[in-house]
Structure 1
Amino acid sequence: MQNNPNTKTAEDDSSLRNIIEEDLIKIIKELSSEDLISAYRSLSGLKIESNSNLRIRKKNNLSKKDITVEYSTHLRSQNKACSTVKDYVNISVKFTSYIRQNRIKFKSLAMSDVDQYLSSVRSRNISNNTYAKFINCIRSFLRFLNRREYIKADFASLIGIPPKVESIKEELSEQDIKNIKDYLSARKEKYRNENLRDMIIFNLGIDCGLRRQEFINLNWEDINFKESSINIKNSKGRKNRVVYFNKDLRELLYLYRKLNGKYINALIRGAHGKRITKCSLQNIISRIFKESKTYRKNLTLHSLRHTYAERLRRKGIDLPTISKLLGHSRLDTTDIYLHVNKDDFKMAVL
């Protein structure tokens, strides 16, 4: 049987490669750090940035996509929450797309280019608070670009942050809560266990004070039936906390688990059995408010969390405890959630 000459050549190349690799490893081990960096620079054309980690970056050839990926890694290293990283990176991608479309290179970026972009964003029909959040994201990205020497100046320091407009924070009254529970008990379902799931969502909001992303991330493994508690992991600011639920919610969770036959992974699921999305969750709550006749302009999913805080206050729970249950680092943040009214002032003196 005749040997294939191509196979023999491949084997020879492989043997030669192994010999070269072994020799190179010996040579590298004998080089000083300075000589190794110099050799690496001349062979690869890479720019070496000396710091505590001796990071090596192919700076001259880095694409705008690579930079946004690097920015994402940077944000995660700063212990930013996943939702924050997602929002900031999305805005950085839009900004880099604008730069690419206008054929602007990062090194030649001028403040006038940034102003032009911000002006185009401001001309859209967005609220002052949305624009203020947008500005914070852009400033963060520009600071990152400047510190990594992708742009020549600190444009972030030249951008002012517009003042936020304090929005009216709504909470649900006890009558609102009764109306919603009555509505969910009698509503005709679009699919199996829809009403039970929505009742659980509603109760998790007003009795446990969950944030939007906490609803979405919640798994069955986070529920401790023995302790009647929920372990909320990696929430805003990458913090963990424990909240407790009452007997009514406990029974709802038991029934929902039994009927669905789900014991692991996502607790709250959409119509097709997948983990609920941000948009679907908001639509569920909006529908509940409208169809139960409790709708008001400023009622949102977050109003459930405000209702939770206010109900705790009315029970006489002290501010530090409420703050801890909400997962706040500062008491003045918790103060926003408390709705002191005229009746409270009367009670204080009468």
Structure 2
Amino acid sequence: MSIIKFEKFRHKDLDCIAIKFEYNFEVKEYIKQFPTVRWSKTHRTFYIPYNFKTLKELKIFLIEKGYSFHEKAEVPVINLNNSPISPFLNLEKRNIYEHFLKFLEGKRYSKSTVNTYGHFVYEFLKFTKDKPINDIDENDVRYYLEWAVKTLNYSLSSHRQIVSALKHFSFFYPACSINTENIYMPKKDKKLPTVLNIEEILTLIECTKNLKHRAIITMLYASGLRIGELINLELKDFDFNRNQLHVRNAKGRKDRYTTIAKSLHPLLKNYHLTYKPKIYFIENPNGGKYSPNSVRSFLKKNSKIAGIKKTVTPHSLRHSYATHLLEQGTDIRYIQELLGHSRTETTMIYTHVTKKELREIRSPLDNALNNISLRNNNDKKQLLS
């Protein structure tokens, strides 16, 4: 059985823990299933953020498979039966931080949200060093945000997540001096989604030779699924007689039904006979859920092969699905239901992408050149080149 080693290192100015092992395909595929594991091209290693709750969960995850692990001296030892011991936070802050994580879990936030908020609050408390937690105020928040945005080059979405995490922390621990009304929340970018045209979609599918990869790409587009929804799909969720797909426990803990394209039936049947999945629609070679990072990786690779210059992600296929439905005249209320949006306003963004009337407006330059051509010679077309 492989021995997995944990080593502390710095990556993008953050404390991280490297997960190292002698190459083994089974170990690699299993570790990729852990939600917060990332791959560093620079350090050539899998890693997780230096977060004690995450490290504890990773150890349990490895123990369940029977793997053993070894920690270097700089990685704090975590007793799986007791509370984590942190070298960075004093006893008071460590206790409050651990109770904050339980507070988030009690609000039934997803594991991803708990890890994200927990990570940012942990980094903030570490940033304040030995300052008493009751004396921490919004100025400390401002200093931390200025440092994090400038030094770590956080994106706008990460900036908003930090603010949201600290507002939750202030609500959980009102004894601190943070006035949430004085914490500035930057506005969201109003960017339009990346949408592929139907020719690009078909070329992408055609260039994807691997049967499993082709099934994944076509399902993402043909049913408008989020990457997490696809990964969690089980065989029992397919109803081919009614051409319906049952999407369970999607974003916001909501179930919904969406469609299965009839043209996909032969492909899905071929995929099922070839790979013989047991529980999930898409499974890794050793069983269990497929890795979302693997989907992003082969999608990026096949997009280059297809000659698509746009940045293509799994969500781009969902955006394309919604836009193409609008273009063929589907009522926006039905699209909202198929996508699982809570508010119509969220779905309305696609109306900005698919303005048929705008696309039909002719530029005055086209009209001018056309009129010149007609006036000078009915058989000769005026060109700029």
**Fold similarity call, TM over 0.5:** yes
> What's the counterpart of residue 314 of structure 2?
301
* Pair 1:329 & 2:338 matched: no
Contact 1:323 1:331 in 2 (8 A): yes
Structure with higher strand content: 2
Residue 237 of structure 2: aligned partner: 222
Map of 1:196-215 to 2, 5 A cutoff? 196-215=211-230
Who is 2:142 aligned against?
A: 115
- Answer yes or no: is 1:260 the counterpart of 2:275: yes
Residue of structure 2 equivalent to 1:37: none
Match of 1:83 in 2: 112
Pair 90,248 (structure 1): closer, same or farther in 2 beyond 3 Å: farther
Aligned equivalents of 2:297, 2:204: Cα separation in 1: 15
Structure 1 residue 66: deviation in Å?
4.8
Q: Distance in 2 between matches of 1:215 and 1:338?
A: 25
Q: Return the alpha-carbon distance in structure 2 between the equivalents of residues 228 and 318 of structure 1.
A: 19
How do 1:40-79 and structure 2 match up within 5 A? 64-79=93-108
CA gap 1:83/1:338 in 2 versus in 1, 3 angstroms: farther
Change (3 A) 1:207 1:341: closer
The alpha carbon displacement at 1:90 in A equals: 2.8
Partner Cα distance (1:301, 1:121) in 2: 29
**Structure 1 position 129, deviation (Å):** 3.4
Amino acid at match of 1:169: P
Where in structure 2 are the equivalents of 1:94-173 lying within 5 Å? 94-99=123-128, 102-123=129-150, 124-146=152-174, 149=175, 151=176, 153-173=177-197
Say which structure, 1 or 2, has more relative contact order (CA 8 Å, 6+ apart): 1
Q: Count residues in correspondence.
A: 271
Aligned with 1:337: secondary structure? helix
Whole-Å separation in 1 of the counterparts to 2:91 and 2:253: 30
* 1:323 counterpart letter in structure 2: Q
Per-residue CA deviation, residues 40-62 of structure 1 (Å, 9 max, x unaligned), is xxxxxxxxxxxxxxxxxxxxx98
The sequence identity of aligned pairs, in percent, is: 28
Deviation at 1:326, TM superposition (A): 0.6
Mark the CA change 1:342 to 1:239 in structure 2 (over 3 Å): closer, same or farther. closer
Alpha-carbon displacement from aligned partner over 1:139-180 (angstroms, at most 9, x marks no partner): 22222222xx4x2x2432211111222223111101101211
Say if 1:168 and 1:269 are closer, same or farther in 2 by CA, change over 3 A. same
In structure 1, the residue matched to 2:84 is none
Q: Return the alpha-carbon distance in structure 2 between the equivalents of residues 66 and 312 of structure 1.
A: 51
- The answer to whether the 8 Å contact 2:228/2:292 transfers is yes
Normalized against structure 1, the TM-score is what?
Answer: 0.69
Q: Which amino acid aligns with 2:147?
A: S
Report the counterpart of residue 277 of structure 1 in structure 2.
291
In the aligned structure 2, how far is the partner of 1:139 from the partner of 1:199? 43
2:124 alignment partner AA? F
Stretches of structure 1 that go unaligned for 5 or more consecutive residues are 1-60, 188-194
Query: 1:131 is aligned with what amino acid?
Result: H
Q: Who is 2:252 aligned against?
A: 237
- Report the AA paired with residue 174 of structure 1: I
Greater share of helix? 1
Go from structure 1 to structure 2 and tell me whether the alpha carbon gap of 1:104 and 1:219 turns closer, same or farther (over 3 Å shift): farther
* CA deviation vs aligned residue, 1:202-243 (integer Å, no higher than 9, x gap): 112211111122122222232233333222122111111111
Deviation by residue 1:52-104 (Cα, 9 ceiling, x = unmatched) = xxxxxxxxx986455444434433444544433332233233333434xx123
- Following the alignment from structure 1 to structure 2, what is the Cα–Cα distance between the partners of residues 127 and 64? 27
| 1:36 aligned residue | none
RMSD: 2.7
Counterpart amino acid of residue 318 in structure 2: R
The Cα shift of 1:130 comes to: 3.0
Check conservation: 2:145, 2:159, Cα contact below 8 A: no
* Secondary structure in structure 2 of the residue aligned to 1:232: strand
Distance of aligned partners of 1:103 and 1:208 in 2 relative to their CA distance in 1, 3 Å threshold: same
Paired residue type of 1:144: F
Q: 1:302, 1:292 → 2: CA distance?
A: 18
Q: Which residue does the alignment assign to 1:289?
A: 303
User: In 1, are the aligned partners of 2:327 and 2:354 still within 8 Å (CA)?
Assistant: no
Q: Which runs of 5+ in 2 are unaligned?
A: 1-89, 362-385
Q: Normalising to structure 2: TM-score of the pair?
A: 0.63
Change in Cα spacing, 1:69 to 1:197, as seen in structure 2 (3 Å) is: farther
Quickly say closer, same or farther: Cα 1:201–1:260, change in 2 above 3 A.
same
Asked if the contact 1:79–1:237 (Cα under 8 Å) also holds between the matched residues in 2, the reply is no
Q: Give the 3-state SS of the residue equivalent to 1:95 in structure 2.
A: helix
| In 1: Cα distance, 2:148 partner to 2:255 partner | 36
Query: Distance between the aligned counterparts of 1:86 and 1:228, measured in 2?
Result: 37
Using the alignment, how far apart are the partners of 1:86 and 1:241 within structure 2?
26
